[in-house]
Amino acid sequence: MEQEGRSALIELYLERRADLIRFFTLRLRSASAAEDLVQDIYVRLSGVTDTPDIQNPVGYLYRLGSNLMLDRLRGERRGAFRDGAWLDTQRTVMGAQEVADEPSAEQVVADRQRLAALVSALGDLNPQTQRVFRMHKFEGLTHPQVAATLGISRSAVEKHIMAALKHLAAVAR
Amino acid sequence: MNGKRTFGGGDQAAEEAARWFVRLQSEAADAGDWQAFEAWLAASPDHVAAYEHLESLWVDLEAAPQVIAHRLDQVALRPAPRRTRGIALRNPGRRAWIAGAGAIAASLVVAVEIANRPAGVDDTLTLRAAPGETRQYVLADGTRINLNAGSEIQVRMGRDARRVTMADAEAVFDVAHDARRPFLITSGDREVRVVGTMFNLRQRDGKMALTVRRGIVEVRPAGAPQAPATRVTVGQQLAHSQGGESVLTADGLSDSAFAWTTGQLVYRGQPLGEVAADLSRRFATPVRTADADAASLRFSGVLVLDNEPAVLRRIEAFAPVTAVRAADGVILRRRAGG
């Protein structure tokens, strides 16, 4: 059962590989970066041990790749953007050595300002939009879960999140 | 605001990007949606840029989840209704799948509150953190369970006792005090008995490690409630191998057992094979040691779990190994002459 689910996904992946590469070439503006990413999707699929009951297997492949892109972005934004730096607390010390890869002071300041702007922009949103956004983004609830929790429709949830994103995007420009 | 502007089409692109971003987060997005999205991206470089802009702020928001969550709490006029009656676990299979999808998105901590079970209902819930993510659960009694990546436990909130079973998992338990309903955890061949306390419990590969931060925890063989208990208290650690002896220590280093909850792993001379197994649970790409020789290398250090390539670079800096990328993961190999 588990084996079947896994290999079906890999079959689908092989079938769609060229489509995925075309799509991620557009996203990454680079064919070779897209090749790498699509290879990572494969690695990820071979590590899937659950046999999830997938609604849209093709959509899943694209979403997996898009999430890997986000993960890379997260990797690039480390450093000043760590909680520790934001809260001005201690640095991590390994033995006697500080962990390397600290960003430049200018970068730290710029990143903090950007983060402060985002945090303050969240406060501009109306309370219900804030609530929806928080539940989805920070508490990890899916759109249907947020909808059921607040007793609103799924499309209302999507509208709140869209409104929040548009506002944040305008502020963080 | 008028929707369109001629200069760069910025507002319209931003609006459409937000719509795509939200739509594509849904599991309901199918092949047709992604193809339409591709066509939209191809239509203009502004579209690609607008979408990237959203992704970057989406990630930036994760830089300080506590700070932001706190701020949102303050700003909101009253706290959001948090009772998610039945939702989180109405369908455990579905939930597990959602968890699996989340695993792709790094190790962002999410909190899911488990609803109060209706009276008389006494079924078993499975709580899970897929590889690559940690999860926080709040049980109906207020007990908090912070699950480390690649962990699964079963919970049963009975009338006479609260029971947890863990076979391959690591978690910090902050147990709500309830003298009438002891909190019992079966971990391999041991049973851990709690009244109200906070501790980290790890059960991996037949080895158990218990570290207590607050209160007292009793450990006895599983299925032998009359057997004499070992009492573990603040700052102490109990290590036990399946079928073997238990060792109680108090080395003043017990805080390191909780480090994973703040995105770090602390090692003092652990075999590299164990480090590789921990990283495989925490990150998307599996890590293994090339051979027994590499697996037995002793590793000491604090690893900040920000992203996998950076962590691997640090391991290379602190141990005589190189990390080699293979088709199915990363292999740690002993450096020549190392």
Give the residue from B222, B252, B282 where a domain finishes. Answer: B252
One domain for residues B47 and B187: no
One domain for residues B177 and B287: no
What's the rounded Cα separation, in Å, for the pair B220 and B218? 7
Q: What is the mean predicted confidence (pLDDT) over B160-180?
A: 87
Q: What is each CA distance from A90 to A23, B107, B264, B305, B311, in whole angstroms? A: 42, 21, 14, 16, 19
Least confident of B53-67, B139-153, B179-193: B53-67
In a domain, B76, yes or no: no
What's the rounded Cα separation, in Å, for the pair B105 and A123? 25
Q: What is the mean predicted confidence (pLDDT) over A6-32?
A: 90
ipTM surpasses 0.90:
no
Using the predicted structure, report yes or no on whether residue A23 has a pLDDT greater than 80. yes
Strands (E) in chain B, as ranges, are: 110-113, 125-129, 135-138, 144-147, 151-157, 162-174, 183-187, 190-194, 198-204, 207-214, 216-221, 230-233, 237-241, 246-249, 264-271, 287-289, 298-304, 321-326, 329-334
In a domain, B74, yes or no: no
B231 vs A: CB within 8 A: no
In a domain, B134, yes or no: yes
Among chain B residues, CA nearest to A118: B61
Please, are residues B55 and A65 in contact by the beta-carbon 8 Å criterion?
A: no
Expressed in angstroms, the distance from the first to the final Cα of chain A is 48
β-partners of residue B265 are B303
A82 vs B: CB within 8 A: yes
Q: What length does chain B have?
A: 338
CB distance A82–B130 less than 8 Å? no
Q: Which residue has the tokens 């199918």?
A: B30
Using the predicted structure, report yes or no on whether residue A66 has a pLDDT greater than 50. yes
Please, are residues B145 and B139 in contact by the beta-carbon 8 Å criterion?
A: yes
One domain for residues B278 and B314: yes
In a domain, B52, yes or no: yes
One domain for residues B145 and B243: yes
Using the predicted structure, report yes or no on whether residue A111 has a pLDDT greater than 50. yes
**pLDDT tens per residue, range B278-294:** 998 888 888 999 999 99
One domain for residues B150 and B56: no
Window B:140-199, CB contacts with A under 8 Å: none
Q: What pTM was estimated for this model as a whole?
A: 0.46
One domain for residues B39 and B134: no
One domain for residues B98 and B179: yes
| Other C-beta atoms lying within 10 Å of the C-beta of residue B78 | 8
Residue B47 backbone phi and psi in degrees, to 5? -65, -45
Q: Which of A22, A42, A61, A71 is the mutation pick for testing B, counting most B CBs within 10 A?
A: A71
Q: Which of A2, A21, A35, A62 is the mutation pick for testing B, counting most B CBs within 10 A?
A: A62
One domain for residues B153 and B180: yes
Q: What is the DSSP track for B145-203?
A: EEEPSSEEEEEEE-SS-EEEEEEEEEEEEEPPP-TTS-EEEEETTEEEEESS-EEEEEE
Pick from B306, B284, B286, B265: which is nearest to B102 by CA? B284
CATH of residue B179's domain is 2.60.120.1440
Residue A88, token pair as written in the block: 């001005």
One domain for residues B109 and B56: no
**For residue B187, what are the domain limits?**
92-252
The rounded percent of chain B whose pLDDT value lies above 70 is 77
What's the rounded Cα separation, in Å, for the pair A115 and A172? 9
Q: Which of B72, B98, B136 is the mutation pick for testing A, counting most A CBs within 10 A?
A: B72
The rounded percent of chain A whose pLDDT value lies above 70 is 71
One domain for residues B245 and B287: no
One domain for residues B274 and B216: no
Burial category of B185 from C-beta neighbours within 10 Å (exposed 0-12, middle 13-18, buried 19 and up): buried
Residue B109, token pair as written in the block: 């901590």
One domain for residues B270 and B326: yes
What's the rounded Cα separation, in Å, for the pair B301 and B39? 48
Residue A13, token pair as written in the block: 């992946």
In a domain, B71, yes or no: no
Window A:116-135, CB contacts with B under 8 Å: 118-119, 122-123, 127, 130-131, 133-135
The amino acid that residue A163 corresponds to is A
CB distance B97–A47 less than 8 Å? no
Q: Work out how many domains chain B is built from and give that number.
A: 3
**pLDDT tens per residue, range B95-126:** 333 333 333 223 333 333 343 444 444 567 78
